[in-house]
Amino acid sequence: MQTIDKQISIIPLDSRFGKCLHSHSAMQLEIYYTLENPDTKLGVINDATGKFTFSRGARVDVTPKILVNNGCMLTNVVRTDFLTNILTKQR
pLDDT at 17: 86
Q: Which residues of the chain have pLDDT under 50?
A: none
pLDDT at 67: 84
Cα dist. 62→18, 20, 48 in Å? 22, 25, 21
pLDDT at 10: 98
pLDDT at 72: 79
Is residue 34 within 8 Å of 3, Cβ to Cβ? yes
Non-local CB neighbours of 53 within 8 Å, separated by 6+ positions: 30, 44, 46, 80
